[in-house]
Structure formats: C-alpha cells, structure tokens
Amino acid sequence: MNWMILLSLPVIFLIWTEIVVSILVLRKEKPLPFLKKKRGKVSILITARNEENNIGPCLESLKMQDYDDFEILVADDDSEDKTYEIIQSTLSDKMQCFRYRPGLAKVNPKAMALAFLATKAKGEYLAIADADVLYPSTWLCGLLDGLGDGGIVSGITGVEGSMWQDMEWKTSIRRMALANRLGMLTSAIGNNMLVRRSAFDRAGGFESVKLSPTEDQALCDNVKKEGYRAEVLYNNKVLAYTKPIPLTLFFHQRVRWMNGVMKQPLFVRSLLTLQALVLPVLLLLGGWHLLYASLIFVSWLLVKSLTDGILQWQIDRKVRPVYILLYNLCLPVFHLILLVLYLMTGTLEWKGRKLPAKK
C-alpha cells in the first residue's frame, strides 16, 4: 500500500495544484482602465509566409483599431503563393509591405524577418501579430493599458472552429498569466504581444534571439533580464482568434514551444513532466488496484475540469461541462505524446523550414 501512495503522489500533487489555481483565479483582479489618451505611435509587425488565405482578413482587422496612432509593417517571408500580391492590394497610408528573403542558415527565419521590420518601424511600441489571426478593435488599447510602465505584455489567443484547440490555448494562457503574476514563469504569446521600443532595443531585439526556435519567449526573457516587467493579460480587449491547424502541425508547434518552456525554472519543467506522467502512473496503479486508480483519476478529472470551467467562464462567460470533461479525458494522452515527441525530436521544423536545433 505504501508504494501505491508513493506512486500516486505526482497525481495528488497535480490535484492540489489545480485547487490552488482555482482559488487564485477566483480572486478579483483590478480591471484595466480603457486607454483615454495617446501614448505614442505603435508599429505593428507581421511576417507572412504562404498566408494567401489568411493575410487579407488579418490586415483588415488591424486597420479597424480604436487606437489611431499606428502603422502596419508586413514582411512577405519568401512566400510561394499569392501572399505578396494580396498584401499589395490592401495597402493604405498606414501600411508598408516589404519582400524579405532569409539569408543566414541555421537561424530562426521569423526572428530575422521581425528584426528586419523593426529597423523600419517608427513607433515607440512594437506590436507583434501573426498573419493567420483576427484581432479585435480594442487590441492595441488593451495591450497598452496592460503594459503600463512594464516592458512587454501579451494578450490571449483563442482558436475559432476547434473546441479542443481553443480550450487548450485559453486555459494554458490563463495558467501562464497566473504563473507570470506569481513570478514563477516568464511567458509571451508571439502572435499577440506588445513591447516597449526602449526595452526591445536594450534587450538586443529579435537579432539577439535569432538562434532560438521560440523567438517570442527568448525576447521576453531578455527584456526581463534588463529589469523590465513582463505581463500576460486575460481579458476580452486583447482576445484574438486564429484558425485550427491539423493535428500533425499542432504537435510540431507544441514541440517547438516546449523547447522554450523547458528553459524555464525547475518547478515549471517539473510540473510539465508530472502532467505527462499522469497516464503511466494511472496505468501502473490500475494494474494492481483498479479501484484506487479510478478514485485518483476521477478526483483529478473533476478538479481539473472545475478549474478549466472557471477559466473558460472568465473569458467566454459560458461553460460547456461535457466538452471540458472530454477535453480532460484526452489530456493525459496528449501530454504523454507531447513529452515523447519532444524527447525524440532532433530537428525542429515550421512552415517547411528547419529551425535552430534544440539545446
């Protein structure tokens, strides 16, 4: 019996972690004031590679910002479709488009394209957007409100058209926001981010993170090292939506993100590892005592689902209990597969390009 209790400790620890998360997220946070005065020009930077189906709606959503002092700089990153032509057809007084050709091998091409755009930017703030994301009209105002006197701030991104991916994005970002507030994690959302130009320059910009496969995370780390505060927001003003991606690309994306997360403090890495061990632990326990394993699993499932329900309610004001339960039933398998793929993957790839190797 003692070894069974010892083996189940990782899952019991995760249960108590979820209880603590539920308590913390229920604490009422002071709402952010809506921006009433200008804070200077914002340069929105976008790199687009083979995004002919997405770039048009993305740019239209950015043109509708409530904050009027901004410019949009787009780099067509060696696209093989009609991305550049579509960008050209949507140009306005606030927009500039550049053709970018990656030169150096063994570097992150997106980081280099963003570094190129930063040299053209005139803003006191740099907002980083993705070509496959739609942004609310309050996006820039919300990010500027959340930035305050800090150096870098991220918003929240959901997924339109996939319940599973949407829930995974939103609940993960809420936990990141909480961990960031508690000083346990430095995190950034690369498709929904704003950085103060002075902090960006002091941190070395994207040029300094060209060897990282997760340029957003690496930039955030560098900004914090310079003494600036980093923030992750969780409110509808900064809620943007992207499209779902196929399962294979989804795992590729998460493995790439894992490379950045695994550079975080030991507690964060340990927590992610424990999540991946939930399924093996339950299977081992079930082989010796099915009832005990079932009680542990049901306890974890209910507590985790309750926490995710609270997180969903905070941003959507609606909860789908059946979806949340189904999501969490699949989650142990997902975490285990992700850890295995991370350990097995040598070369990282994204959009047909090889990224800097894991370190």
The pLDDT score that the predictor gives to residue 264 is 77
The pLDDT score that the predictor gives to residue 333 is 93
The pLDDT score that the predictor gives to residue 2 is 67
The pLDDT score that the predictor gives to residue 355 is 67
The answer to whether residues 67 and 94 touch, using CB atoms and an 8 Å cutoff, is no
The pLDDT score that the predictor gives to residue 52 is 93
Q: What is the pLDDT along the chain (359 residues), one digit of tens a residue?
A: 566 777 788 788 888 888 888 777 666 555 555 555 568 999 999 999 999 999 999 999 999 999 989 999 999 988 888 999 999 998 888 999 998 887 655 678 888 899 999 999 999 999 999 999 999 999 999 999 999 889 999 999 999 999 889 999 988 888 888 887 777 766 788 999 999 999 999 999 999 988 888 889 899 999 999 999 998 998 899 999 999 999 888 888 888 888 877 777 777 788 888 888 898 988 888 888 888 889 999 999 999 999 998 888 888 777 788 899 999 999 999 999 999 988 887 777 766 666 665 55
The pLDDT score that the predictor gives to residue 28 is 57
The pLDDT score that the predictor gives to residue 19 is 83
